[in-house]
Structures are given as structure tokens and as C-alpha cells.
Amino acid sequence: MADSSSLASGAALAGLRVVDLSRVLAGPLCAQMLADHGATVIKVEPPGGDETRQFGPPFDALGHAAYFGALNRGKRSIGLDLSRPAGRRVLEQMLQGADVLIENFLPGTMEKWGLGYETVLAPRHPRLIYCGISGFGADGPLGGMPGYDAVLQAMCGVMSINGTPESGPLRVGIPVVDFLTGYNAMVGVLLAHAARERSGRGQRVEATLFDTGLSMLLPHAANWMASGQTPQRMGSAHPNLSPYDRFHGSDGELFLGVVNDGQFRRFCECVARPDLASDPRFTDNPGRLAHRSALRAEIEKILAGYSVADLCQQLMRRGVPAGPVNSVPQAFAQAHTAHRAMAVDHDGHKSLGLPVKLSANPGKPGDRPPKFSEHADSILTELGHSRAQIDALRAEGAVLGPKA
């Protein structure tokens, strides 16, 4: 790990060395976020490459699926067949200088290869932080089972509260369980790193889609625990707040997010209906919830006469949260998107910006996503392999992909 003086002048994770064995979403996202803040990340891919390389179209100019490109910038790639002893020996060489290992194989895979954390890697590499990501963990009734985002959305109740009474349960339109699992994994790695600064020892970090899916059920799980009533699908409405919903304006849709009585009074003043704020049915949030349908009908009639963009600006200036319901292109066309640097074009690769911004140690988006095993020869050379040894590893099939 870099010393404090180097960190003060560079990225927050400068000097952190990460070996990323993961594929698809949660693990690669975790590793990419670490890379964005200065970590050196080597992506170890199986013989066929990360599956997301084929999650297209669309594909970019270099032939990468856009999906893969969104999760793997700032990394170097080497293709290893870890089912072969020679491939595992190369991985062990990488781990000698690594701080973090990230993997999302089915539980038991690393043990099958003789690379279990507790029995093998921890004794050999006591400072290593081992991050294992899985669907359900290694034990328990579902231990070792495969897990994918939409399946976990279904199993953990997320789909049950998404949609309308008429639509039935719906998958959230982004892989939200995978995505948050990646963030949880990153937080776990950073917590373990902080603990290692005190103890000098690494530890296992576990992040599962199952735990993440259940943890997302706020406030629905808390409401059920307190009331015993099963949460229902409410479209865009909120179970505890009103008006907190999507409404139609004269030229589009907006979302109105009122969370307290003061905001409701200011909303009523802005739309020239102060009488609504003094209506006994609507003076406080419990009353507005009890008379939700009547209040919605009143607001729909009012907003039909307002332009969405103009009304949202007026409401926001008065401290009432409101925003237009934008498409993805419209969201990225907003001036504030550019101001917050949330759309970047780096080295010819267009991607999302960094959602976490540090004042003293700002991160930056890394180089374009790597081609499959693009850096194999340079990585092996850094590990001390000669040209003849590298050729032998390729001939054996332990190392795959293009030569440098």
C-alpha cells in the first residue's frame, strides 16, 4: 500500500493491488470502482472470456459489448485456465503481491482448485483481503446455489412491490440487486482494508445477492414487521408519503416528491390552490395518506394546466422536490449531467462518470476496457517469466488470448 504522502497527492487507493477473477456484473463493478480511485486491477478471465463481452449488440468500435465496457475500464486483462495447475501457479504468483482478490465463482470452486481462503490462501498470504461474491453464500438451505439478479429480485420480494395492481410483479428495469451487491462488496473490501491497517491481517469479505436483495426492502420490510400487512404494488406511489407520485402535466409527466407539511403548503401556493393545504383531509401526512385518491384527483386536475419543465423549476426554487420524467437520452442531455461530469469520453470510450467524488483525492475513469488477455505477456513478464516460459504456458493452454 502506498504511504500517506503519495496518497495525499494522488488517488485515494493508489498502490492498492487487486486481482479480479469475477465476471458479469457485481464483482467487475466492485473492481472497476476500486480502479476508478487508483487501484491497480488485473482482470483474470476464463478461457472463453467474461460472458459480458458477448452481451450485445450494441458493440463498440473495438468489438466490446457496451455491457462489458460499462464494467471493466481501467483494468488489465489476462486469460488463464485455472482448471490447469500451471494456470493456478500463475495466479498464486499474482497473489504474492496483491492486496485484494475478488471472485464470484460458485461456492466451493476455489476449494476444488486447492485455493480455498481459510485452508490455503490465508496461511500463504496473511495480508490478503479475499472478497467472495455469490448468490446465497456457501451454506444454509440455499448455500452454493447459482444466483442471478432477476431471480433474486423475485425471491427477495423486490418484484412483488414493483409495478401496479394491474401489471402484476415486475422486474426493476436495472439489475439493481447485482448493482448494489457490487457496492456492498466494495464497502466490505474497504472496511477490511481499514481493519488490516490496525491488525496487519486480511480477512474474508462476503457479499451475496440474497442478503442484498432483502436489505433493499426499505421501508416495505419495516412496514410489514410493524403492521403485519403485506406490502402491495403501488406503481410510482410511496406507501408512507403523499403526494409522492408521478403525475401528468400539459406536455409530459413529472414526479412530485412531497415529504413534509411545509413542502405541501408551498406546493399548494405555487399552483394557486392554498385551499388544499387548509383542507382538513390534507393538513398532515397521515390525513393525506388516508385520502390519497381524493388528493391525487385534485392534483391531476391542477397539473393538467402546467408545462412540466416550467412547473418543476418553480417548485424546486420553492424547495419542493419535483422533476420531469426523462428518457435516458433526456437524462444525459441535462446541463447538470455535464456539470457533475457524469458522462465521460476517455480514450475514445464513452462511459458513466464517478458517482463518488473526493475533494483531496479525486478519482478518474480509467483507460478503455481491455481486449481479452490483452496484457498477458506484460503481466507474465512482470512476474518474472522469460519469453520461453510464456510460450510454454501458452502452448500448454494455461495462458490464453492474443500475444503482446
What positions carry a catalytic annotation? Answer: 178
Q: Which residue's C-alpha cell is 416495505?
A: 220
- CA dist 82 and 62 (Å) reads 27
Q: Which helix (H) or strand (E) holds 337?
A: helix 335-339
Take residue 304 and report the three cell numbers written for it.
Answer: 393538467
E strand segments, 63-179: 75-80, 100-103, 129-134
Is the peptide bond prior to 219 cis by the omega test (within 30 degrees of 0)? yes
Is 256 in contact with 314 (CB distance < 8 Å)?
Answer: no
Q: Which residue's C-alpha cell is 478519482?
A: 363
Is the peptide bond prior to 243 cis by the omega test (within 30 degrees of 0)? yes
- CA dist 80 and 385 (Å) reads 15
Number of H helices, E strands in the chain: 19, 12
E strand segments, 51-179: 75-80, 100-103, 129-134
The closest of 89, 100, 155, 160 to 125, measured between CA atoms, is 100
- CA dist 25 and 182 (Å) reads 7
Burial-class residue 270 by CB neighbours within 10 Å (0-12, 13-18, 19+). Answer: middle
E strand segments, 47-188: 75-80, 100-103, 129-134
Is 182 in contact with 26 (CB distance < 8 Å)?
Answer: yes
- CA dist 211 and 129 (Å) reads 20
Amino acid symbol at 228: G
Take residue 393 and report the three cell numbers written for it.
Answer: 504456458
Diameter of the chain by CA atoms?
A: 85
- CA dist 120 and 111 (Å) reads 9
